[in-house]
Amino acid sequence: MRVKIYPSLVALSLLLMAMTLSSPTASCAHGTGYRIVDNDDTVTMEFYYSTGSLMPYAEVLIFSPTDKESEYQNGRTDRRGRFAFRPNSPGEWQIKVYDGRGHKVNGKCSVTRADETDSPLILKSTSAKTVPKRWGVILGISLIFNLCGAIALFNKKRQKKA
């Protein structure tokens, strides 16, 4: 079986790869993350994009460990991408943040009591785990080559039928 190489397809894939590698921050702009800033009796979290810029005025929904359907609290992050809430029970709290432009964060925060008395709640977990940027670049390049291969295969089958 002989495969015909299309020069325009190769040029397009090389152009897309060069654009991806020359601007890695633009190609990874859809990543998001969060970190816990303060862990007194209130939980303060900071939300950001993979580029390091903050997520200001993003919609926030907080779900308690006892009720995953209706939110315990809702609101928006401040101009520095921060949001604070005060948990009323121990357990794993769900935090959902949406910036209105396609970026979402699904965070978790584990809260426990120091002892069985009415002591304040203590934060147990920390920030989100993120995927390294180089894996995003590698996956993007792989996607480009796979799409180009699929187009070439489709064109070859179409030419065979004609």
Instruction: Examine residue 27 and state whether it is found in any structural domain, yes or no.
Output: no
Q: In percent, how much of the chain has pLDDT > 90?
A: 24
pLDDT tens digits along 74-128: 999 999 999 999 888 888 999 999 998 888 999 888 888 755 555 555 555 444 5
In terms of domains, do 112 and 144 share one? no
In terms of domains, do 55 and 90 share one? yes
Q: Please determine, for residue 28, whether its predicted confidence score (pLDDT) is greater than 50.
A: no
Residue 27 — pLDDT band, cuts 50, 70, 90? very low
Looking up tokens 């990874």, which residue turns up?
Answer: 28
CA dist 148 and 9 (Å) reads 7
Using alpha carbons, select from 86, 107, 87 the residue that is nearest to residue 96: 107
CA dist 116 and 25 (Å) reads 47
- Which pLDDT score is estimated for 150? 87
pLDDT tens digits along 125-138: 444 555 556 777 78
In terms of domains, do 86 and 61 share one? yes
Q: What range defines the domain where residue 87 resides? A: 38-126
Using alpha carbons, select from 54, 37, 151, 158 the residue that is nearest to residue 105: 54
- Which pLDDT score is estimated for 20? 63
In terms of domains, do 138 and 100 share one? no
Q: In percent, how much of the chain has pLDDT > 70?
A: 68
**DSSP states of 70-87:** S-SEEEE--TTSEEEE--
CATH of the domain at 67: 2.60.40.10
Q: Please determine, for residue 52, whether its predicted confidence score (pLDDT) is greater than 70.
A: yes
- Which pLDDT score is estimated for 114? 53
Q: How many structural domains comprise the chain? A: 2
In terms of domains, do 115 and 144 share one? no
Instruction: Examine residue 105 and state whether it is found in any structural domain, yes or no.
Output: yes
In terms of domains, do 83 and 146 share one? no
